[in-house]
Structure formats: C-alpha cells, structure tokens
Amino acid sequence: MVFPDGKVQHWLNGILVIEYQKDSNIFRALVARSKYAKFEDFASSKEFRILLQDHYNTVHYRSIKIKTLN
C-alpha cells in the first residue's frame, strides 16, 4: 500500500512485513545499488503497478486479489 505522503507498507496474509518512505535518501541509495538501478525513475511515480518477483526459481501464484484500500 502506498500513501500520498510516500509511505509504503507491504502486507502478507494480513501481517505488516515492512514499512518505509519511498522518497527517502536511504530508499534511493538502496535502489541505486540494486538490480532496479537501470530503470530510470524506478518507484518515483505516485501510482504504479504491482511487482511480482521470482528470483529465478519456479513460482506459483494462486488467488491474488488486489483491492483499493480506503
């Protein structure tokens, strides 16, 4: 979930896994040292699509539900 102030929360099965500010210097530095550095303006948009990672292994997704939270 991304909030208008740039705060991001990742939830998994109803449990908050991580929370961060996507416009912070720390976040930008981590992206710069990651595989996403080659994508210009990565995560700079106010709205963006969901990102699913596979880490080069077989992955199965079942019953993914995406909804707008108020």
Structure tokens at 35: 């595989």
How large is the average pLDDT for residues 40-63? 77
pTM of the prediction? 0.59
Q: How confident is the model at residue 70 (pLDDT cuts 50, 70, 90)?
A: low
**Domain that residue 58 falls in:** 1-70
Beta strand residue intervals within 1-70, DSSP E: 7-12, 15-21
Report the pLDDT value the prediction gives residue 17, as an integer from 0 to 100: 95
Cβ of 9: how many Cβ atoms within 10 Å? 13
What is the count of structural domains for the chain? 1
CA distance 56 to 50: 18
What separation in angstroms does the CA of 54 have from each of 6, 20, 51?
A: 25, 22, 10
